A and B are shown apart, each in its own frame.
Chain A
Amino acid sequence: MQEAIRAIIGEAELRQGKVALDIPSLVENGNAVPLSVSVDSPMSPADHVKAIHVVNEKNPQPRVISVALGPRAGRARLATRIKLADSQKIVAVAEMSDGSFWSASADVIVTLAACVEDLQ
Chain B
Amino acid sequence: MTARALISVPPKTKRGEVVEIKALISHPMESGYRVGPNGTRIPRDIIREFACTYNGEEIFRAELSPAIAANPFLSFCTIATESGTLAFRWSGDNGFAATETAEITVE
**Residues of chain A whose beta carbon lies under 8 Å from any beta carbon of chain B:** 31-33, 36, 56, 59-61, 63-70, 72-85, 114-115, 117-120
Contact = CB atoms under 8 A, between A and B. Distances in A.
Given A61-B67, A64-B65, A65-B68, A119 B79 contact: no
Contact of A119 (B42, B57, B62, B78): B42
Interface residues of B, number: 34
A72 B57 contact: yes
Given A61-B67, A63-B65, A68-B61, 5 more contacts: A60-B33, A64-B68, A65-B68, A67-B60, A73-B59
B74 interface: yes
Interface of B: 18-20, 29, 31, 33-37, 42, 54, 57, 59-70, 72-79, 81
Given A73-B59, A115-B34, A78 B74 contact: yes
A120 B77 CA distance: 41
A67 B61 contact: yes
Contacts of A118: 34-37
A119 B74 contact: no
Given A60-B33, A119-B37, A67 B65 contact: no
A80 B66 contact: no
Given A69-B76, A72-B79, A73-B77, A64 B69 contact: no
Given A73-B78, A75-B77, A31 B33 contact: no
Contacts of A84: 67
